[in-house]
Structure 1
Amino acid sequence: MTAPERLTVTGPADILGFIPHSLGYWPSDSLVAMTMHGRQLGATLRLDLPAPGGAAAPEHYLQAVRGYLDADTSADGTLLAVFTSDTHLAAGTYGGLLAGLAPVLDQAGMPVRDAWYVGGDYWRGAFCLDAECCPCPGRAVQEIRDSALNAEMVYRGSSVGPAPERQDTAARPLPAMHRAAAMEAEEEWERGLSPRSRSLAQFRLVLDVWEDLLARPAGLPWVPDVDRDGFMCASLLVPHWRDAVLVMSAAGRKAAEAGVEGFYLFDDAVQLEAISPQLVPGNGAGAHGGAGGPGSTAGERWGPERFYSAHSTEPVAVDGEVPNYGAVLMGMAPAVPDWAGMDGLDCILAELAALGGQAAAAALTGRGWISWCRGRGSYAARHLSDALSAEPGYRLAELILELVGRGSICGWAARKESAWQKFGPGAAA
């Protein structure tokens, strides 16, 4: 959806109703923190609640919350919501968490302005002692679902789906015949593309096909095409082509081409004619060109570890101008990515993942990376876990999931001026 014009918040129910729209789902067993800019709502952070144990929350947890919120450098306040199953026990279980966060966030210049406990049936103010305002066990959660802001968000096209762990990562069900035909086409294209994996001309032609698809107008319905979809899936099986597509969606064609120059991936001795769904040479070598298996040397020489060999905090450029692959994949450059291009790629990858086949792991990993770049760790973890279910040991999925698991934030998501925004700045006030 497009960014809505500013919405008016009239009370706690509106604020709590905005949270599921911001996250995309109704959280459970979660701490949700929202930054404030004056009277405007800012960034939304969701973390799993710490395991209940003592009266005080672990210090590392409190500092982690502060560290994440520090990324919003213009924030001057914080709102907190504890989503738990039972508001009866919430104060006794998580009162220490809120008490511990208050001085930490106050020291950071983001004092806690209000906090709430939200259960399955009731919600109540965490600091409210007025029985008339916050009767025991609380106010009905239905008030949140019926709030004016929630109704307005739904009217504007926003929806609240199931939690990531309960979602089907496929874009939509596909007819079995289409899936079978697409997987057959993928295998056929792989036989033709594999011996061309070190061809510079083929690399550029693969980018041509993806660039055309990324330029599709937003919202244009996806029309399945067996031959094209099979080609796209097969192209994702070549690691440096796959990663070039990710980089191109965020940083443009120039970065995708220049970023591979230092890895010596191309071999001038490969003279096979480049092929694509529009360019199939009639050389008698099969429907899509030459023979060859998937064991190409490109996959051996191009490992995802190359991207993470230097965890620099500064953008790295090629020739002082174009960011390299590592900088783009870690969200360090460009200063602001092409979010529209990445959104378009996410939609395409969802369609390709739904086909199954060998490329499902690559497509789901790409979706996981995009979710991580957006700052949506729960969605990233779901996509990456599904990628590893599709292909155990898929290395790029393992690496990105490791980043997600240890709480690393993508460089773009950590900077307000570059972060992905579902609704746009100051959507609610």
Structure 2
Amino acid sequence: MFHAWVMRPEHNDQPVPTSKDRPVIDPGEASQRYALANEPGGNALGNDSKHELTRRHRVGTPEEILAYVQATLGFRPTHSLTIVAFADRQLSTVVRCDLPDALHKMLQSDTLESVTFLDFGITETQELQLMELGKQLGQLIAREPSTTGCLLVYLATEVSVSDHQALAATGTVNAMLSAQFGLQGILVEESWLIHHHQLWHLRCASTIDCEIQGDVLGDPESTDLFQRLDPEGKTRQRSGTAMEKLVFPLASQPSSRDVSSIYDLLEQRPKVVLNWLQRWDERLSHGPSMLHTDHVAELLSTLEHPELRDAVLGIACFDLNTSIQGMLALGRFSDEIAVLSRLQGDMRDGTDLKGCLLGQSERIPDWQRIAALERVCHQLLPLSDHASGGGVAGLLVWIEWVRGRGSIALDYLRQARKHFPRERLLILLENVLRQGKVAAWATRTESAWSPRHAA
């Protein structure tokens, strides 16, 4: 059983920190139909008409809920705990994290955890870990003030115990997580366990004896809803475990060229700095295009310096003038830059810029420009060297993090650290991801990015 909801394409995908990471601080036919309406927030639908914003869809099957989840996250989740938030009669935020490790092991017959649960139930250590996980997820969902309830979906890919034991173990875990959600004022209205393409209900708020147990699920990608949400099939058959592999340079050996200090650049060569920033603004202001060979050195040189790299992020999130005025206000650009650009520091821009770097500015970022930054960085990474490559990879990690796709960001990070182990930006981002921190943009309906509408 589930109810009628309206769609808000806000999502989140976070890597949940484990205990070892903490010191580092990362059916049949339904009796009701569901209403889904397309109500994206912010600039996520930059080119969509008002008609598109008010279009409504009817949803009546679990497959369509899963289609919504897949199209919103940007991939088909597996081995996951997925949370679909409700805002009154609207589908809202989608949050995905890895299936709790304790539950994953309890669902496999050849593990100590499975035998222990069968004989004694859940252990005290597992209870504490699950309570902490429930607290984290509940707080995350509660950040969006419109949230009134949620659906929990446990997607298990490795289940070798009996259905009865799987339901018992998952039901126990679900009860603990639901209790923590309740402490945050979030009602868990339903909970599902899905394994071997079968649906099992753990909790039905509307019924006492749920008859929807073990129903075979169809393919979410075969639904009409999926075709409407993802007409180009960008998320088709893309699993959350099949992350994109970054293309690194063949070798990250030191280059023979000299890398100017940031002081020399800002104080003595401000014209060069402005030219580089203007080059970035040009790249991010236009649609996809081939990267001109003559521009590669300039674009990479900009990313060698933290100050200029942060300015590039400001250009991507907002525009060139906001970035320069913000850097001036924060004291990170010299007076020579102010004179040459004919711009002055503006503390509002400084606040926006600082918030941009942390993914939490009140000003909504321009997601189309950020998508352009992503394309350029994928083009530049194979052409980079030891001085610039870590910064390029760091930007790609940052982009996925502020989008709310923490698992993809962490996967990128692991790849990048092997090639650039000393890059400061990657180290900072690793600390954020290991704590399981989520960018504030991804927790607010008006500012969240939706991959279904990405450029």
| Structure 2 length-normalised TM | 0.70
**Aligned pair partner of 2:146 in 61, 69, 74:** 74
Q: Who is 1:343 aligned against? A: 371
* Structure 1 residues 405 and 163, CA gap change in structure 2 (3 angstroms): farther
1:17 aligns with 2:74: no
Q: Cα distance, 1:320 vs. partner?
A: 3.6
1:123 aligns with 2:199: yes
1:50 aligns with 2:105: no
1:205 aligns with 2:232: no
State the Cα deviation string for residues 171-209 of structure 1 (Å, max 9, x = none): 7x9xxxxx89xx99x968x54866853322221111100
Aligned amino acid, residue 195 of structure 2: G
Q: Who is 1:30 aligned against? A: 80
Cα distance in 1 for residues equivalent to 2:360 and 2:211: 51
Q: Cα distance, 1:122 vs. partner?
A: 2.7
Cα distance in 1 for residues equivalent to 2:374 and 2:259: 26
Cα distance in 1 for residues equivalent to 2:384 and 2:393: 10
Aligned amino acid, residue 59 of structure 1: M
**Aligned pair partner of 1:404 in 418, 424, 433:** 433
Superposed, 1:296-307 pairs within 5 Å as none
Q: Is 1:16–1:144's contact at 8 Å kept on the other side of the alignment?
A: yes
Q: Is 1:75–1:110's contact at 8 Å kept on the other side of the alignment?
A: yes
| Structure 1 length-normalised TM | 0.74
Q: Cα distance, 1:96 vs. partner?
A: 1.6
SS in 2 for 1:19: helix
Q: Who is 2:116 aligned against? A: none
Superposed, 1:209-288 pairs within 5 Å as 209-217=279-287, 220=288, 222-261=289-328, 262-263=330-331, 266=334
Q: Who is 1:367 aligned against? A: 396
Q: Who is 1:289 aligned against? A: none
Q: Who is 1:322 aligned against? A: 349
Q: Who is 2:136 aligned against? A: 64
SS in 2 for 1:20: helix
Q: Who is 1:101 aligned against? A: 177
SS in 1 for 2:101: coil
Cα distance in 2 for residues equivalent to 1:27 and 1:376: 12
Aligned amino acid, residue 207 of structure 1: L
Q: Cα distance, 1:164 vs. partner?
A: 5.5
Cα distance in 2 for residues equivalent to 1:211 and 1:193: 22
Q: Is 2:201–2:210's contact at 8 Å kept on the other side of the alignment?
A: no
Aligned amino acid, residue 114 of structure 1: E
Cα distance in 1 for residues equivalent to 2:403 and 2:448: 7
Q: Is 1:35–1:72's contact at 8 Å kept on the other side of the alignment?
A: no
Q: Who is 1:168 aligned against? A: 244
Cα distance in 2 for residues equivalent to 1:247 and 1:240: 11
Q: Is 2:246–2:412's contact at 8 Å kept on the other side of the alignment?
A: no
Q: Cα distance, 1:215 vs. partner?
A: 0.5
Q: Who is 2:448 aligned against? A: 419
State the Cα deviation string for residues 242-281 of structure 1 (Å, max 9, x = none): 221012211322332234335466596xxxxxxxxxxxxx
Q: Cα distance, 1:357 vs. partner?
A: 3.2
State the Cα deviation string for residues 130-158 of structure 1 (Å, max 9, x = none): 78632xxx233444343332344343544
Cα distance in 2 for residues equivalent to 1:164 and 1:26: 6
Q: Cα distance, 1:416 vs. partner?
A: 2.4
* Structure 1 residues 25 and 123, CA gap change in structure 2 (3 angstroms): same
RCO greater where, 1 or 2, for CA within 8 Å and sep 6 or more?
Answer: 2
Which consecutive unaligned segments of at least 5 residues does structure 1 have? 174-178, 269-317, 425-429
Cα distance in 1 for residues equivalent to 2:335 and 2:415: 34
Q: Is 1:24–1:161's contact at 8 Å kept on the other side of the alignment?
A: no
State the Cα deviation string for residues 380-413 of structure 1 (Å, max 9, x = none): 1122222212211211111112111102221222
- Shifted more, 259-268 versus 149-158: the winner is 259-268
Cα distance in 2 for residues equivalent to 1:74 and 1:97: 26
Q: Cα distance, 1:335 vs. partner?
A: 2.3
Q: Is 1:323–1:333's contact at 8 Å kept on the other side of the alignment?
A: no
SS in 1 for 2:439: coil
Aligned amino acid, residue 21 of structure 1: A
Aligned amino acid, residue 65 of structure 1: L
Q: Is 2:85–2:91's contact at 8 Å kept on the other side of the alignment?
A: yes
Cα distance in 1 for residues equivalent to 2:365 and 2:68: 26
Q: Who is 2:342 aligned against? A: none
Please tell me the root mean square deviation across aligned C-alpha atoms, in Å: 3.4
Which consecutive unaligned segments of at least 5 residues does structure 2 have? 1-43, 103-112, 114-121, 337-344
Aligned amino acid, residue 274 of structure 2: R
Q: Cα distance, 1:374 vs. partner?
A: 1.2
1:355 aligns with 2:383: yes
Aligned amino acid, residue 265 of structure 2: S
**Aligned pair partner of 1:150 in 220, 226, 242:** 226
Q: Cα distance, 1:165 vs. partner?
A: 5.4
